[in-house]
Amino acid sequence: MKHLLKMLDLSKEEITDILNLADQLKYELKHGIPHPHLKGKSLGMIFQKASTRTRVSFETGMYQLGGYPLFLSASELQIGRGEPVQDTARVLSRYIDGIMIRTFDQKEVEDLAEYGNIPIINGLTDFSHPCQVLADLMTIREFKGSFDGLKMCYIGDGNNMANSLIVGGLKVGMSVAAATPVDYRPAKEVMDFAQGFDCFTITNDPRVAAKDADVLLTDVWASMGQEGEAEERRKAFVGYQINDDIMALAKSDALVMHCLPAHREEEITSKVFEEHANEIFEEAENRLHAQKAVMVKLMG
């Protein structure tokens, strides 16, 4: 594994290795055991979009690993004035040991990987959010013990989270059901991958997806960059909400997770959100541990 660009690139073994290391790093942190695997290394973090969790967890995680994180706002880099990503990649490769990038177009991340010669980590694109989904899988395994026999349900927009959860869930052996409006299906390459699995369901009906689910996930109806479509999307997504009626169809011990930020009373009711705050905020914490594992694997 040279980069973390999207879930489609990872094998089941690579995912399991990352999750095992993440569990170990979480244990070490909680028990005050130092783990300076990246002493003397630096990570550039390029942000073209807002972030709370990704920024703070990468920055703190790099510090805990003994390395140095550099926050690079795209608007202050020459990339924000049009310097090609291919040149940025070749320059940064000569100064630092890895790049985390959050941007719009997946191609920009793939180009960084192609032109640079240091590990590239996708910190969210319109297509994919692999760091989040590794943390999500870590959380599911932590609460449920294993992925065996579990059904994952995703309700909402066929966006970066849906794309990554479907692929990640199927790769680790869960059955996956996703409910999205027909006009907001996951990306074609994700659908092509998923259709190869008998245990994958795509439907317009959130109730079908939620039936007997062990874990239910959702995400905002309008992602970063889609603010102008918010009104239209609010109409299109009516009914695509995790609420008590949906929870009544899932298993009684089902987990509810959300990558955050959440829009209460849109994709999830405040009631369900607060009843499942325990797993939702453990999931947020696990960003730190999962990403530290990714950095150690790629840059250690």
- Chain residues binding ligand NVA by CB under 6 A are 124, 159-161, 219-220, 223-224, 259
- Residue type (1 letter), 215: V
**Among all residues, whose Cβ is closest to ligand CP?**
54
Q: Does the protein bind ligand CP through residue 259 (CB under 6 A)?
A: yes
Q: Does the protein bind ligand CP through residue 294 (CB under 6 A)?
A: no
- Shortest CB 289 distance to ligand CP, Å: 15
Q: Does the protein bind ligand CP through residue 51 (CB under 6 A)?
A: yes
Show Cβ contacts of residue 177 under 8 Å, excluding neighbours closer than 6 positions: 151, 152, 153, 154, 200, 201, 202, 203, 208, 209, 210, 211, 213
Q: How many residues does the chain have?
A: 300
In this complex, which beta carbon is closest to ligand CP, that of residue 201 or of residue 218?
218
Among the residues of 31-159, which ranges form H helices? 53-64, 85-92, 106-115, 130-144
φ/ψ bin of 45: left (φ > 0), alpha (ψ from -120 to 50), beta (otherwise): beta
Q: Does the protein bind ligand CP through residue 286 (CB under 6 A)?
A: no
Instruction: Write down the catalytic residue from 37, 102, 276, 289.
Output: 102
Instruction: Write down the catalytic residue from 233, 241, 259, 276.
Output: 259
Q: Does the protein bind ligand CP through residue 291 (CB under 6 A)?
A: no
Q: Is 35 a catalytic residue?
A: no
Q: Encode burial over 185-211: b for 16+ CB neighbours within 10 A, e otherwise.
A: bbbeebbebbeeeeebbbeeebeebbb
**Binds 52, which of ligand CP, ligand NVA, none (CB < 5 to 8 A, cut-off by type)?**
ligand CP
- Shortest CB 53 distance to ligand CP, Å: 4
Q: Is 106 a catalytic residue?
A: no
Any idea which residues carry the catalytic annotation? 102, 129, 132, 219, 259, 287
Binding site for ligand CP (CB under 6 A): 51-54, 124, 132, 259-260
